[in-house]
Amino acid sequence: MIRWLEKNRYVAIILTILIAIEIFYFSSIPGTTVPGGIPGVSMIYHFLVFFLFNFFLLISIKGQEKINSKHVLIALLISISYSVLDEVHQMFVPLRMPDILDVLTDTAGIVLSTILIFYFNKKKS
């Protein structure tokens, strides 16, 4: 699937944009809580959504090129900045507040997706 996305980079770009919109949309809902109050669901959501955001973003940036530090740095800067800006945005949404734990969870997902893309690119070579 990764090779297919690399060849069809526009799909990765569209998915990256859709995920960014989804993150912004859910962050804009006042006083959102996890349905049923299930512990840990929010952290799982943050991890997965930013894992996918960075995964598709990194593929969008690198395309079919071999991954390099420039690709990774750009993707990390954009992804982590978007995570931080998402939390800052919540300061202006009624009944919402920023949480550093969310940024750390987002960053863990971002880092893991970067590692996996590195692994699959090395395996491909």
Domain with 48 in it: 2-124
Q: Look at the chain and report how many structural domains it folds into.
A: 1
Query: What DSSP string describes 73-118?
Result: HHHHHHHHHHHHHHHHHHTTSTT----HHHHHHHHHHHHHHHHHHH
The model's pLDDT over 33-73, given as tens digits with 9 standing for 90+, comes to 555 567 788 899 999 999 999 999 999 999 999 999 999 99
The model's confidence at residue 5, banded by pLDDT at 50, 70 and 90, is very high
Q: Which amino acid is at 3?
A: R
**DSSP for residue 40:** T
Place of tokens 């699937």: 1
Task: Name 61's Cβ contacts closer than 8 Å, sequence gap at least 6.
Answer: 71, 74, 75
pLDDT for position 34: 57
